[in-house]
């Protein structure tokens, strides 16, 4: 399997010591899908939202 870099969005928290919220979308989604939910939770944590790098019928996901 060839290495493919992951597409992601990273939003740092206001505090450098904050925890990180990892967002993983469902099949056919992308790294932007869950950002509105993270915004509703506030700014007290880092946000790392990743796009799945496995394609199923042209739709990204995380596993086969």
Nearest alpha carbon to residue 25 among 11, 40, 6, 42: 6
What pLDDT is recorded for position 2? 67
Nearest alpha carbon to residue 38 among 20, 26, 60: 20
Residue 2 in domain: no
Residue 1 in domain: no
Q: Give the pLDDT of the chain (64 residues) as one tens digit per residue.
A: 566 789 999 999 999 899 999 999 999 999 999 999 999 998 899 999 999 999 999 999 998 8
Residue 49 in domain: yes
Range of the domain at 28: 8-61
What's the structural domain count of the chain?
1
The reported pTM is 0.87
Residue 3 in domain: no
Residue 27 in domain: yes
What pLDDT is recorded for position 4? 74
What three-state secondary structure class fits 38? helix
């Amino acid at each position: 399997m060839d290495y493919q870099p992951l597409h992601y969005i990273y939003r740092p928290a206001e505090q450098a010591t904050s925890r990180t919220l990892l967002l993983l979308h469902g099949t056919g989604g992308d790294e932007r899908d869950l950002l509105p939910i993270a915004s509703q939770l506030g700014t007290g944590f880092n946000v790392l939202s990743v796009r799945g790098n496995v394609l199923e019928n042209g739709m990204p996901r995380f596993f086969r």
